[in-house]
A and B are shown apart, each in its own frame.
Chain A
Amino acid sequence: MPSVDQVIFWLGALVIAAPTLLVAQLGLASLLDAKLSERTINRSNQTAVVTGLCAAAAILALMLLTGSRHVAIDFGTWIEIPHFHFSIKFVFDRLSVPLAILSFLLTGTIGAFASKYMHRERGYNRFFVLYALFLLGLVVTSLADTIETLFAGWEFVGLSSALLVAFFQERPAPPKNGLWVWTIYRLSDAALLLAAVVLHHHHASGEGDFDELLSIGGFWPEGHTTLAPGYVLPVGLLLIVAAAGKSGLVPFSGWLPRAMEGPTPSSAVFYGALSIHLGAFLLLRASPILESSHWLGLTVVAIGFSTAVIASLTGSVQTDVKSALSFACLAQVGIIVVEIGLSCLLQWPWLRYVALVHILGHGCLRTLQFVRAPSLLRVYRQLEDAIGDRLPQAAGPFDRFAEPIRLWLYRFGLERGYLDSLLLSCFVHPFTRAFRWCDALERRWTDLLTGEASRESDKVQPFSGSLEDLT
């Protein structure tokens, strides 16, 4: 008779193995150029999701039955050098299990949706490879117990999301917007990576385990951090940047509507419901760190609040259904982040449960709304018929404000808070200008030193030759 811990271990292994095997199957088939049929893909997908979901649900049941609040599954240390070790470790606790179940449930449902929706589309295989990678990333991220495991999952999610945004690569807009999403994600990845490095550096033994860093005096949500006070602020800020990028918080909000370039199911589940919450999840996971400094708590509240305000203002003037939904989504993510920030600021761990429930509920509802987005015309018609008249439309908020202010606010919303323009003009353009300036400087110097045009690459043509040369 295996012990409960052993059962949980094997179930946990199953939860991770199911999406891993799915990625391996679909990915290898694509690499080897063996085109799988739609039917095979669907079967594998169903098997993986159902297995993972059942295993995760079983773990939840067992944990509830035994009253266990924290089970860690260690897959061993893979790299060990002085001051650093890389270990793969997963944790099942009150934060990770609900999220893993939500991930399987929503991703699985959307997988079933996509299997029909994408029928006969040229990129069917590609879509499901990315889909599987996304699922794996999501499960790994939510269950991660070390920061490097979390980073791995985080990367899978980022890569698959950006490629799904650019899914329709024959038109110019999707790759362009995919690149934008990718850039923001990289920025947030870089912040997370730096945070990991700092954490490892801090710990003499070189561990990035959440167990040891964050779970002093209790399991999530009650734990406290062992991080030295000097490290709290930099690590915390880096984590906030990482979360802000991934969750589209201010000032990175502009990527979310751009992510609507992909097919409806991927927009729905990926940006509307799951990956948009990853930043909030990271903050929840790291809440013991945020709790140790008022400044961090305040920053989180401020970012969350401004995101919520800008997003709901912007959302109210959007005239296409997907942008409207994505800003509605962002407003809630902002509020969730405020909840997390307040829980840290006021030392109210129970508020973290509120945030978690908010994430779960918001994920489900928004997925349903996204999936039904193409029904909007019909829904409006039905509502009008039920009400017996045109749908009432308010004159808009801020009625009491003077007209110039109202117009200003309206334009602010229409232009999506100018966030993208600001990023471009305050960061991107100065950044590229600085490097171009360095490049020009280098060229001047080398030209001066050689006494002629020194850069040979300037003169190279894509192909040179004439008719006669070819025989």
Chain B
Amino acid sequence: MHALAVGDRQPNESATYSPLAHLREAIERAARLLPSQGPITVFISQNTLQAFEHLPFEEAVKRGAQVFGHHSYLSEDRFRHELARGRIRHADLLEALAEDLGTGAYDAVPGVGTRLDLRMAMLQYPLRTGPAEELLWFVAETDALRKVRWEASAADRSRLIAETRHWVLRDLRGGNESSLAGAAAREIGGAPAGLLGLLDRFDESEMESWSEAQWEGLTLQMLWRVCCDGVRGIPAPDSPRAFHLRHRDLLLKATGNDTDQLVHDLLIKFCAAFLDQGLASWPLPGRDRGFFAAFRAVYRQAGGPPDGWLWGLRKELARLDAAETSPVESVRESLELLGVSPFHWEPFIADTLVALRGWGGMVRQVEVRGDRVPRPIAEGSLVEFLAVRLILDRLAVAHVASQSLGYRGTLADLRETLRDHAQFDAPGDEQRAFQMFQLAQVMRLTPSELHRLTTAQWTSLVSEIEAFAGIERQRLFHLAYERRFRTQALDAIALHARQATGRPPAPRFQVVCCLDEREESLRRHLEEVAPDVETFGTAGFFGVAMYYRGAADAHFVPLCPIVIRPQHWVTEDVAGSAETTHRRRARTRRVLGTASHRFHLGSRGFAWGALLTGAVGVLASIPLVARILFPRLSARIARRFEGLVQAPEQTALHLGRRDEQPGPENGGLGFSPDEMTSAAERLLRDIGLTSGLSRLVLLIGHGSNSQNNPHNSAYMCGACGGAAGGPNARAVAQMLNDPEVRAQLAARGIAIPAETWFVGGYHDTCSDSITFADWERIPPSHRDEFSTAQRDLDAACDRNAHERCRRFMSAPLKLSFAAARKHVEERADDLAQTRPELGHASNAICLVGRRELSRGLFLDRRAFLTSYDPSQDDDESSILARTLQAVFPVCGGINLQYYFSSVDNQGFGAGTKLPHNIAALVGVMDGAASDLRTGLPWQGVEIHEPMRLLFIIETTAERMLRIMDNHAGIGQMCRNGWVQLALVHPASRAVSVFQRGQFEPYQPRDAALPRAASSVDWYRGWRDHLEFAQLGR
């Protein structure tokens, strides 16, 4: 499982070769394989296999599987289950297979028909395999040689038995067989001795009175014998043999002892201490001096750990100290001592880093993005981490090799010695025979037919089978799985778009939400509740990238996509009238905060702990019982008390800047009028809301708040960098209400009617509540309309909660709207709830275009909806280009993160949440100590269908191709197949699909979509994914 070819550059290729520079480069390249997930408090969804994004998807996942040892597709069993329940249809599978094989589909394969037939059978029926011993056991001890596989139809089974019977009685016993040219016959001199020997065991005279079961047994035994004979002597496939670079892998193979266990035990503790952002009350001494120096200082002291393998550590560190070896020199020295040639440096380092990738990746992330943590670490920390790791590796390997093998030589020669000890298996005759044996039963192949194959035919048959091994079959299944969904989605859009009627005339109010697929249902329900409302979707930071600090916050938080570094700072200021209250409450909060922090520390300490636990400990049973048994009630009581010390509600954002240059201090806060106008203009143009503005426009950011959830940030707004987007909506609303901004906008061609008023709000996607900021500033003329709008939104929230509840197994299907709302509120407040909400699970589509394409279409909370009006774009499609530049990384990243976390949750994901343990305040470990778990937890991806995001964009093929050419990132994702792409022509509404490098027209398979009166009529009583449907009468 080595990672060669991340960059296969040869050393010594230039005259000015410097080993250390080469080494640094090798480390740098190897480090790209580490997870790019930063501290868990800022959870950004990114492509898990970002390191391979330059490769086509299918190749990349294969490489990813090799390097990390995880699955890159769902398992075959899972796919077959999907086939059985109709999620994948046979027709999809056949089409996907035929398309994949192209012209080779109908090539003949000896004995079995065409290649298509063979592969289809291999997909439909599970082929078990395993180590030779296991297979032999299986054949000997189970019914394998007595009963035909249950998957074979009754007719096939009868035919198989009847023909064999015929063959035995007529040819084998009658002696006709010697004239046949069989592989077995030729090898043993004309007579199928093996088969005849088999027959000899039975009393031939009784054969005629044999029962069906006895013939079945004989048939299978003959089949097994023929398969065994047939595969014998066929050369092994020249697949690349697993080549183990690390000493640890070889040692593990040879002795069963894992040196990584020893090393990681120590390294995890030390990494956590080094990265700790304030969990331990006693920080690592000498942390500022860097990983390497701190490690040497701590472990160089006398009287160290008594573990045998660490006995040499002190001496080794003292030697490094004395020689003043730098970290990178130490890495080089370790590699030399381990006998790794410069040619193998990079793959060796990659494998070494990948072994503890969670912690290694976090060292890397904290090193690179020090601005995201309170306690940054020095540059070069990853190299130091590697240096320490290699020293420990050396000690552990030497120790284990001498203990279990009695090895006394140098580490450099160890690998050669170990390669003799370790055994590597290629597929043997047993595996091949067993595959053929299983296939024959479902492909109606009789022993006699197989017996007649020549050696050459057997060879070609076996190689055909082996060419379609595990991951290839999964890939095909995956294509069919996606194909089925793509057909449904494109049918839905193509058919629905034909009936589109344009924007609603004179909407009562307009709502702009985040493009998040969780807002799809909110918008749909709002439009159902209030058909005279228009909704839009855009990236949830609303074009305002800023560092933001609320009135009661301690720090600035970046609110914008992760790729942007904000240039502006905004604070929330308390209005003058409430200033005294604010100061008083802030003081109270500080006192309470300090006290509870002291309590927090004290209860863990020695003397204070005794006093506190003894004196007031029993009182803890009250919140304990209350919060667990009555979560909603106790949360409400707690909020009531918190309300007494909260920052006052009369606040305003500090948006207008006084100084020339932006900065986090007084005069630097805020935006200049020009900047505000640009942000506002960009938002309006992006979503196409440059005309027809209603009297009230509501801008709603979103976030999510839940208890006891280290992954809370993952449920927040992705476009706000894993934080809540309420302040962005509020800021842009305030900008758009600004007369100066409006005047400038008018000059730039966007006339905002004087009676239009913007209000910013915040949607909590967990408890489904919407709150508005600055509502007290709404002009009296708009108050009534605003109240009505609020009522409509509230009703939409109830329904949205109701729709979400259908996916929660613990919520009864018969809940009323109001009860559903209570249910989701309780989920948000419940300490015991591991699924406060389901996040982006089930996301599958990203629609970029006018709302009319999807309005009135039930998209099952599966579609990111980005508003874009092609009729307002210029010839260069500059609006679309900049929209896609934001949408591709955000939505594509979310989708791919969900993809990998759900295909192998234990590997690429974070596993189940239940044993998670917050470490160093940067991530979670499983249980007592483990590698840091990156990716998403199982509870979050349980209902996700891993598919690549299907982009459906309203534009023309020429424009899209131009964007793909001009923007490398977008082009790469489309051309390498990391996303699926389809277009809707803005005028004709014709749909085309991007395949094999070009857009091909798409014809809907269905004539019409199912129709339901309302969303709730369509989803009622159903927990699983739903088909798309048209709503309304």
Given contacts A320-B272, A364-B624, A408-B303, contact A174 B927 (CB under 8 A): yes
Q: Contact check, B270 vs A118: say whether CB atoms are below 8 A apart.
A: no
State whether the Cβ of A183 lies closer than 8 Å to any Cβ in chain B.
no
Given contact pairs A319-B272, A373-B917, A414-B269, enumerate 7 new A-B contacts (beta carbons under 8 Å): A312-B605, A324-B280, A335-B606, A357-B618, A377-B40, A377-B918, A415-B269
B285 CB within 8 Å of chain A: yes
> Whole-angstrom distance between the alpha carbons of A173 and B593 in the complex?
38
A440 at the A/B interface (Cβ < 8 Å)? no
CA distance A171 to B284 in the complex (A): 30
Query: Does B207 lie at the interface of the complex (its beta carbon under 8 Å from any beta carbon of A)?
Result: no
- Chain A residues within CB distance 8 Å of chain B: 105-106, 109-110, 112-121, 167-168, 170-171, 173-174, 177, 257-265, 308-309, 312, 315-325, 328, 331-332, 335, 354, 357-358, 360-369, 371-397, 403-404, 406-408, 410-411, 413-415, 418, 421-422, 424-425, 461-463, 465-471
B273 contacts A112, C-beta separation under 8 Å: no
Complex contact B928–A374 (CB within 8 A): no
Residue of A nearest to B286 (CB): A407
In the complex, which of the residues B554, B617, B624 contacts A389, with contact meaning CB atoms closer than 8 Å? Answer: B554
- Is there contact, CB below 8 Å, between B306 and A425? yes
Residues of the A chain whose Cβ atoms lie less than 8 Å from the Cβ of B928: 173, 177, 257-261, 320, 322-323
- Residues of A contacting B: mostly: helix
The residues of B that contact A168 with a CB separation of less than 8 Å are: 912, 914-915, 926-927
**Residue of chain A at shortest CB distance from B220:** A471
A132 to chain B, nearest CB (A): 18
A366 touches B917 (CB 8 A): no
Residues 820 to 875 of chain B near chain A (Cβ within 8 Å)? 830-835
Q: How far is the CA of A316 from the CA of B276 in the complex (A)?
A: 13
Assess whether A264 is in contact with B285, with CB atoms less than 8 Å apart. no
Contact A360 B593 (CB under 8 A): no
Which of A116, A258, A316, A386 lies in contact with B280, CB distance below 8 A? A316
Chain B residue at smallest Cβ distance from A398: B282
Q: Are B614 and A422 in contact (CB under 8 A)?
A: no
* A358 to B628 CA separation, bound complex (whole angstroms): 23
User: Interface digits, B459-500 against A, CB 8 Å rule (1 contact, 0 not)?
Assistant: 000000000000000000000000000000000000000000
The 7 A-B pairs with the shortest beta carbon distances in the complex, nearest first, are A361-B617, A386-B593, A261-B927, A328-B604, A263-B914, A319-B272, A396-B282
Residue of B610, B629, B710 contacting most chain A CB atoms (<10 Å): B610
- Picked from A116, A308, A471, the residue with its CB within 8 Å of the CB of B221 is A471
The distance from the CB of B839 to the nearest CB of chain A, in whole angstroms, is 16
B140 touches A465 (CB 8 A): yes
B224 nearest in chain A by CB position: A471
Please determine whether B809 and A119 come into contact, CB atoms closer than 8 angstroms: yes
What is the CA–CA distance of A276 and B958 in the complex, to the nearest angstrom?
A: 70
Choose among A110, A119, A471 the residue with the greatest number of B CB atoms under 10 Å from its CB.
Answer: A471
Q: How far is the CA of A363 from the CA of B624 in the complex (A)?
A: 11
- Complex formed: what's the CA distance from A361 to B221 in Å? 71
Asked if B298 and A387 make an inter-chain contact with CB atoms under 8 angstroms apart, the answer reads no
Chain B residues 900-956 with CB under 8 Å of chain A are 906, 911-921, 925-930, 942
Q: Is the CB of B270 within 8 A of A388?
A: no
Instruction: Assess whether A361 is in contact with B616, with CB atoms less than 8 Å apart.
Output: yes
> Can you list 19 A-B contacts (CB < 8 A)?
A109-B628, A113-B831, A119-B834, A168-B927, A174-B915, A177-B927, A262-B927, A312-B606, A317-B280, A317-B282, A319-B279, A320-B919, A331-B604, A360-B618, A391-B597, A393-B283, A397-B282, A410-B282, A471-B145
Does B613 lie within 8 Å of A407, measured CB to CB? no
**CA–CA, A312 and B303, complex, Å:** 20
| One of A371, A385, A395 near B553 (C-beta < 8 A) | A385
Q: A residues within 8 A CB of B603?
A: 328, 365, 369
- List the count of A-B residue pairs having beta carbons below 8 Å apart: 317
Q: Which residues of B contact A410 (CB under 8 A)?
A: 282, 284-285, 298
Residues of A near B917 (CB, < 8 A) are 260, 320-323, 373
Is the CB–CB distance between A308 and B228 below 8 Å? no
With contacts A109-B628, A173-B926, A261-B927 taken as known, whether A387 is within 8 angstroms of B597 at the C-beta atoms is yes
Q: Bound complex: CA of A85 vs CA of B316, how far in Å?
A: 62
Cα–Cα distance between A375 and B298 once the two chains are bound (Å): 31
B590-619 contacts to A (CB < 8 Å): 590, 592-594, 596-597, 600, 603-606, 609-610, 612-619
Contacts of A109 in B (CB 8 A): 624-625, 628-629
A77 to B145, CA, bound (A): 58
Specify which chain A residues have a CB less than 8 angstroms from the CB of B280 in the assembled complex. Answer: 316-319, 324
Q: Give, as a whole number of angstroms, the nearest-CB distance from A123 to chain B.
A: 9
Closest to A39 in B: B810
**In contact, B927 and A173 (Cβ under 8 angstroms):** yes
- How far does the Cβ of A38 sit from chain B's closest Cβ, in whole Å? 8
- Determine whether the beta carbon of A411 is less than 8 Å from that of B610: no
Q: Is the Cβ of B278 less than 8 Å from the Cβ of A388?
A: no
> What CA separation (Å) do A357 and B374 show in the bound complex?
40
Q: How far is the CA of A403 from the CA of B906 in the complex (A)?
A: 43
Is residue B665 within 8 Å, beta carbon to beta carbon, of the partner chain? no
In the complex the two chains form, is A411's CB within 8 Å of B304's CB? yes
Instruction: Compute how far the CA of A397 lies from the CA of B601 in the bound complex, rounded to whole angstroms.
Output: 14
Question: When chains A and B are docked, how far (Å) is the Cα of A397 from the Cα of B298?
Answer: 16
Contact B624 A368 (CB under 8 A): yes
Closest to B272 in A: A319
Is the CB–CB distance between A261 and B832 below 8 Å?
A: no
Contact A470 B613 (CB under 8 A): no
CB neighbours of A382 from chain B (8 A): 593
Distance A439 CA – B557 CA, assembled complex (angstroms): 66
Residues of B within 8 A of A121 (CB): 912, 914
B298 touches A371 (CB 8 A): no
B198 contacts the other chain (CB 8 A): yes
Q: CB-nearest residue of chain A relative to B709? A: A374
Cβ-closest chain A residue relative to B597: A383
Contacts of B617 in A (CB 8 A): 358, 360-365
Residues of B within 8 A of A335 (CB): 606, 609-610
- Chain A hits for B145, CB < 8 A: 470-471
Interface pick from B131-139, B682-690, B752-760? B131-139
Residue from B228, B283, B298 within 8 A of A467 (CB atoms):
B228
Most buried by A among B140, B145, B914: B914
B177 at the interface (CB under 8 A from A): no
Residues of B within 8 A of A418 (CB): 305-306
Bound-state Cα–Cα, A118 to B40, Å: 23
**A374–B710 contact, CB under 8 A?**
yes
